């Protein structure tokens, strides 16, 4: 068994950023850019007496899925919780710029070449959001990445993968929501404010961050799939994420773009309707919402395997 084949079987949740980056594209096709040898570390952390990493907590590069060039951003939660600072953000932006260049080159060759080899940006999120050590630089990085996503609209897909230990929270939750397609596992978590922050600001009686079952019912992959905040739910393996990614890239770009959750007046109206619904039904727990959407045995959902869940679940219409 090759290293790449072994990666396909590895837990996405347990994998490092570099393992995810290599495993979600075709075997031996990933080339890391601005890697540790380039020593692109934060200029701010040493001044604060903090340790640095020579990749600043994010792996970036380009690989291939079939004929499609895939520009990869893979965040590492083991370094400052995957938080985004100046260099981390600059590496993300740089990958988008390379994808734009690839798109322009293919577009110049004609529509057939572009359709066959349409590039994609794939972000494997594992982050708590802004790196508070770098404050404004981190906030600016978020804004620049959002700007790059907008620049990609109408050209090539931006796809989010969420299934790592830290989850995807803070400003990066906004970034994930702005992508064209979100693929999650049951173990993935997505939200704006992390559980610990909610508990700190609102009190344990409002949200007990140590109650892992509650955390996953509120921010986990199954809940996000029911609410259509994520488009696909897969098993917890790098290979399962890769299979879903490869399947998505076989679709026309217009079909991928239809999976967006934000970006149009109709989608804004849909979100406002959900806010009104929450006031109407006043759920005390995510299970109340699952039952409202037609899941008769909502209490059993957390214990279901992914396969059983997908076979029986009723999603938000």
- The total of structural domains in the chain comes to 1
Report which of residues 192 and 11 the model is more confident about. Answer: 11
Lay out the sheet containing 232-234: strands in order across.
Answer: 31-33, 58-65, 68-75, 120-125, 158-162, 181-185, 232-234
Is 221 within the bounds of a domain? Answer: no
pLDDT tens, position by position, 5-56? 999 999 999 999 999 999 999 999 999 999 888 888 888 888 888 888 999 9
Q: Are 160 and 181 in contact (CB under 8 A)?
A: yes
Query: CA 37, CA 43: separation in Å to the nearest integer?
Result: 16
Residue indicated by tokens 């997908």: 310
- pLDDT-derived band at 162, boundaries 50, 70, 90: very high
Count CB-CB contacts under 10 A for residue 25: 26
CATH number assigned to the domain comprising residue 18 = 3.90.226.10
Is 184 within the bounds of a domain? Answer: yes
Select from 223, 225, 198, 228 the least CA-distant residue to 210: 198
Query: CA 242, CA 12: separation in Å to the nearest integer?
Result: 10
Query: Taking the CA atoms of the chain, what radius of gyration do you get in angstroms?
Result: 19
To the nearest 10°, the Cα dihedral for 194, 242, 71, 141?
0
Is 37 within the bounds of a domain? Answer: yes
Q: Mean pLDDT over residues 181-200, rounded?
A: 93
Q: Residue length, the chain?
A: 317
Across the chain, mean pLDDT equals 94
- Full-model pTM: 0.96
List beta partners, residue 117: none
Range of the domain at 139: 3-190+230-262
Residue indicated by tokens 């796809």: 159
Is 215 within the bounds of a domain? Answer: no
Range with lowest mean pLDDT among 72-76, 260-264, 297-301: 260-264
Is 132 within the bounds of a domain? Answer: yes
Is 316 within the bounds of a domain? Answer: no
pLDDT tens, position by position, 253-295? 999 999 999 888 999 999 999 999 999 999 999 999 999 999 9
Three-state DSSP class for residue 33: strand
């Amino acid at each position: 068994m090759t290293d790449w084949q072994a990666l396909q079987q590895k837990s996405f949740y347990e994998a490092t950023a570099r393992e995810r980056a290599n495993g979600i594209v075709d075997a031996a096709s990933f080339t890391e850019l601005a890697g540790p040898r380039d020593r692109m570390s934060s200029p701010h952390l040493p001044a604060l007496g903090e340790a640095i990493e020579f990749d600043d907590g994010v792996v970036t590069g380009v690989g291939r899925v079939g004929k499609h060039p895939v520009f990869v951003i893979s965040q590492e939660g083991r370094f400052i919780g995957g938080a985004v600072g100046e260099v981390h953000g600059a590496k993300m932006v740089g990958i988008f710029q390379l994808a734009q260049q690839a798109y322009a080159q293919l577009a110049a060759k004609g529509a057939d070449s572009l359709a066959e080899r349409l590039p994609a940006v794939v972000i494997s999120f594992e982050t708590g959001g802004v790196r508070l050590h770098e404050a404004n630089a981190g906030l600016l990085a978020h804004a620049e990445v959002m700007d790059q996503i907008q620049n990609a609209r109408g050209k090539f897909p931006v796809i989010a993968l969420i299934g790592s230990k830290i989850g995807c929270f803070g400003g990066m939750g906004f970034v994930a929501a702005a992508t064209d397609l979100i693929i999650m596992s049951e173990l993935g978590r997505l939200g704006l404010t992390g559980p610990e922050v909610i508990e700190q600001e609102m009190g344990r009686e409002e949200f007990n961050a140590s109650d892992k079952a509650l955390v996953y019912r509120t921010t986990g992959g199954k809940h996000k799939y029911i609410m259509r905040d994520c488009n696909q739910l897969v098993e917890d393996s790098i290979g399962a994420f890769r299979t879903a990614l490869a399947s998505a890239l076989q679709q026309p770009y217009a079909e991928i773009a239809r999976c967006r959750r934000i970006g149009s007046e109709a989608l804004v109206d849909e979100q406002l309707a959900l806010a009104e619904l929450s006031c109407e039904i006043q759920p005390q727990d995510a299970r109340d919402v699952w039952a409202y959407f037609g899941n008769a045995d909502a209490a059993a959902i957390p214990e279901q395997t992914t396969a059983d869940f997908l076979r029986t679940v009723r999603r938000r219409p």
